[in-house]
Chains A and B, each alone.
Chain A
Amino acid sequence: MLEESFLQTMMLTFKLAGITTLILLFIGIPLGYFLAYTKSIFKPAIEALVSMPLVLPPSVLGFYMLVFFSPKDGFGKWLDEMFDLRLIFTFEGLVVASIIFSLPFMVHPIQNGFSSIPQNLKDAAYTLGKSKLNTMFKVLLPNMKPSILTGIVIAFAHTVGEFGVVLMMGGNIAGQTRVASIAIYDEVEALNYSLANQYALTLFIVSFTILITVYAINKHFLKARF
Chain B
Amino acid sequence: MFEISLKHKLHGADGDIFLDINTSLNRGDLTVLFGQSGAGKSTILKMIAGLIEPNDGKIVIDKEVWFDKKNNISLSAQKRKVGFVFQDYALFPNMSVRQNLLYALEDKSQTKKVDEILLLMELMSLKDAKPSLLSGGQQQRVALARALVRKPKILLLDEPLSALDFNLRAKLQDELLRIQKHFSITTILVSHDISEVFKLANFVLELDKGVISKQGTPYELFSKENLSGKFKFTGEIVGIKKSDIVYIVNILIAQDIIKVIATKDEVKSLNIGDKVIVSSKAFNPLIMKI
**Nearest chain B CB to A50's CB is how many angstroms away?**
28
Contacts of B92 in A (CB 8 A): 121, 124-125, 138-139, 143
CA distance A142 to B95 in the complex (A): 9
Contacts of B222 in A (CB 8 A): none
**Nearest chain A CB to B278's CB is how many angstroms away?**
41
* In contact, B146 and A128 (Cβ under 8 angstroms): yes
Of the candidates B88, B90, B106, B132, which one forms a contact with A225 in the assembled complex, judged by CB atoms under 8 Å apart?
B132
* In contact, B86 and A120 (Cβ under 8 angstroms): yes
Count residues on chain A whose CB falls below 8 Å from chain B CBs: 19
Contacts of B288 in A (CB 8 A): none
Complex: chain B residue closest to A129, CB-CB: B78
Interface residues of B in 87-110 (CB under 8 A from A): 87-88, 90-94, 103-104, 106
Interface centre among B51, B86, B88, B90 (most CB of A within 10 A): B90
The verdict on A130 contacting chain B, using a C-beta distance below 8 Å, is: yes
The verdict on B212 contacting chain A, using a C-beta distance below 8 Å, is: no
User: In the complex where A126-B77, A127-B51, A131-B78 touch, is A121 in contact with B106 (Cβ < 8 A)?
Assistant: no
Complex: chain A residue closest to B101, CB-CB: A128
Kindly supply a per-residue 1/0 record for chain A positions 43-69, scoring 1 wherever the CB is within 8 Å of any chain B CB and 0 otherwise: 000000000000000000000000000
* In contact, B82 and A127 (Cβ under 8 angstroms): yes
User: In the complex where A123-B86, A124-B86, A226-B132 touch, is A130 in contact with B94 (Cβ < 8 A)?
Assistant: no
Contacts of A143 in B (CB 8 A): 92-94
Interface residues of B in 228-261 (CB under 8 A from A): none
The interface of chain B, by Cβ under 8 A from chain A, is 46, 49-51, 76-84, 86-88, 90-94, 103-104, 106, 130, 132, 146-147, 149-150
Contact sample, A vs B, 29 pairs, CB 8 Å cutoff: A118-B88, A120-B90, A121-B92, A123-B51, A123-B86, A124-B84, A124-B86, A124-B90, A124-B91, A124-B92, A125-B103, A126-B50, A126-B76, A126-B77, A127-B49, A127-B77, A127-B83, A127-B84, A127-B147, A128-B103, A128-B146, A128-B149, A129-B78, A129-B79, A129-B104, A130-B103, A138-B92, A143-B92, A143-B93
A120-B90, A129-B79, A130-B103 given. 13 additional CB < 8 A pairs?
A118-B88, A120-B86, A123-B46, A124-B84, A126-B50, A126-B78, A127-B49, A127-B50, A127-B77, A127-B84, A130-B78, A138-B92, A225-B93
